[in-house]
Amino acid sequence: MQLYNSLSHKKEDFIPRESGKVSMYTCGPTVYHYAHIGNLRSYIMEDILEKYLRFTGLDVTRVMNITDVGHLTSDGDTGDDKMLKGAKREKKTVMEIAKFYTDAFFADCKKLNIKTPDVVEPATSCIDDFIRVIEGLIEKGFAYEAGGNIYFDTSRLEKYYVFNDFKEEDLAVGVREGVEEDSNKRNKADFVLWFTKSKFDDQELKWDSPWGIGYPGWHIECSCISMKHLGEYLDIHCGGIDNAFPHHTNEIAQSEAYIGHKWCNYWFHVLHLNTNSGKMSKSTGEFLTVSLLEEKGYNPLVYRYFCLLSHYRKSLVFTWENLDNAVTSYNKLVEKLVPLVKDKSGETDSAEYDRLMKGFTDALDNDLNTSLAITAVYDVLKSKANAATKLALLAEFDKVLGIGLISAAEKLAESAESGAADIPQEVLDLIEQRKAARKEKNFALADELRDKIAALGYEVKETRQGTEINKI
């Protein structure tokens, strides 16, 4: 398989260090708010990557952290603590906030068919590991104490800007965000490993350390959690593109300084989901969630399908219209599958199977080209293969794609059988009016019509196949 590696800026053959095994690390969510559908684009594409690696026969171990401490509103160690901000906003403790949004994150993942990584580790469970690595970095001369905090000394590295795209002037973080720059830093690019004295006196979570009571910086958690579970060598590290700098750059700096050799071979970065008005932001609270999609009647798996239609290395614009187009194309696919799930007859034709399977693997072998993988789904449906062959292929594809086409078609076939024949015309008319209201985004009217339909004894639901109607 060929994958684009952000470290080399080119597509490379993906070759794990140990034959047949892959160690994979993913930066997990900062759990001070719901994940937005932009965050979830990254997790969907990382899930596809993991599943495809497994599909090709590799034994993947995947680790993810949960950031429940240390992430400040600016990735450059300035601003407020995000967790503390979340706790204040909701008048809860930091740990309550962390638990609530961690659960919410995995509930969203489940709805999107995103597999939970083999290991999920909250930063707050690993404080001793962080302290040990920071001590090691101080011993090796890569870290220093200043103003009570411990900093990583980037001037000790031959090359700090490993992803090449960033320059010193990009680091004017403090200035840009109207927050004072940290005068303790010896070099602009230095970053905090451990905070003791800082302006965050009301920091809720604090731990004892050799440098006084304090809390860890954000970057150290990923290095430590990865090394703790996957050892000194990592095959592939994933995250959204905003994490490349400074977060991943700092992870590499401190990990390699600590272990004394190259740490991770491949870096997989997902480009952002944007809206027409720009980037979605958790910190401003202006963002779309999976629950909101559901409230508006969209099936979360259609959002997954929407993400698969674009390549992960291109930024993707979210509009309702684009999502509606994905709904239409998803529903068409499901409809095409209905005759297949009704007639599963025939023996699998292995020559056709292999030919069509190759279309799918060729697509994903080419830097995880998911939109071509969807084309491979169409190729199966258009082919002359029999129903059994087609279904066998689509079931295999779905182990990676995770868009549930077969089960959606089965459900549609079932509901068609149970029949709309005896639904009164009055109800059918209201359903049509409701569809039109939803199309115009008049959700208040759509809700009103749903109530009218309910009063006539029918429940109307939006499902992945479109509108479903059942007798109450």
- List contacts with Zn ion (CB under 5 A): 27, 222
Query: Which residue from 85, 232, 99, 209 is spatially nearest to 150, judged by alpha carbons?
Result: 209
Shortest Cβ 104–ligand AMP spacing (Å): 12
Query: Which residue from 173, 178, 167 is spatially nearest to 192, judged by alpha carbons?
Result: 173
Shortest Cβ 296–Zn ion spacing (Å): 32
Q: Which residue's beta carbon is nearest to the bound ligand AMP?
A: 240
C-alpha–C-alpha distance, residues 38 and 136, integer Å: 36
Shortest Cβ 214–Zn ion spacing (Å): 20
Instruction: Decide which of ligand AMP, Zn ion, none touches 222; Cβ closer than 5 to 8 Å per partner kind.
Output: Zn ion
Q: Can you say how many angstroms the Cα of residue 133 is from the centroid of all Cα atoms in its chain?
A: 28
Residue 444, both tokens: 């208040």
- Identify which of residues 63 and 270 has a Cβ nearer to ligand AMP in the complex: 270
In the chain, count of helices (H) and strands (E)? 16, 16
Shortest Cβ 124–ligand AMP spacing (Å): 15
Whether residue 306 contacts residue 326, with contact meaning beta carbons closer than 8 Å, is answered with yes
Shortest Cβ 469–ligand AMP spacing (Å): 36
Shortest Cβ 222–Zn ion spacing (Å): 3
- Identify which of residues 243 and 250 has a Cβ nearer to ligand AMP in the complex: 243
Residue 368, both tokens: 């995880």
Query: Which residue from 395, 408, 441 is spatially nearest to 301, judged by alpha carbons?
Result: 408
- Identify which of residues 193 and 376 has a Cβ nearer to Zn ion in the complex: 193
- Identify which of residues 41 and 304 has a Cβ nearer to ligand AMP in the complex: 41
Shortest Cβ 284–ligand AMP spacing (Å): 12
- Identify which of residues 247 and 438 has a Cβ nearer to ligand AMP in the complex: 247
- Identify which of residues 22 and 63 has a Cβ nearer to Zn ion in the complex: 63
Contact set with ligand AMP (CB under 6 A): 27, 29-30, 38-39, 41-42, 67, 239-240, 242-243, 270, 272-273, 279-280, 282
How big is the CA angle at 321 (ends 319 and 323), to the nearest 5 degrees?
75
User: DSSP letter string over 64-80?
Assistant: EEEB-S--BSSTTS-S-
Instruction: Decide which of Zn ion, ligand AMP, none touches 124; Cβ closer than 5 to 8 Å per partner kind.
Output: none
Instruction: Decide which of ligand AMP, Zn ion, none touches 273; Cβ closer than 5 to 8 Å per partner kind.
Output: ligand AMP
- Identify which of residues 226 and 386 has a Cβ nearer to Zn ion in the complex: 226
Instruction: Decide which of ligand AMP, Zn ion, none touches 337; Cβ closer than 5 to 8 Å per partner kind.
Output: none
Q: How does 244-283 read in b/e, with b if 16+ C-beta sit within 10 Å?
A: bbbbbbbbbbbbbbbbeeebbbbbbbbbbbeeeeeebebb
Q: What are phi and psi for residue 237, nearest 5 degrees?
A: -125, 135
Question: What single-letter DSSP state applies at residue 246?
Answer: I
Q: What are phi and psi for residue 309, nearest 5 degrees?
A: -70, -10
- Identify which of residues 217 and 240 has a Cβ nearer to ligand AMP in the complex: 240
- Identify which of residues 67 and 331 has a Cβ nearer to ligand AMP in the complex: 67
Shortest Cβ 446–ligand AMP spacing (Å): 28
Shortest Cβ 190–ligand AMP spacing (Å): 22
Strands 21-26 and 215-216: unpaired
Residue 121, both tokens: 């580790």
CA distances from 150 to 72, 122, 197, 223 (A): 16, 22, 10, 16
Beta bridge partners of 143: 152
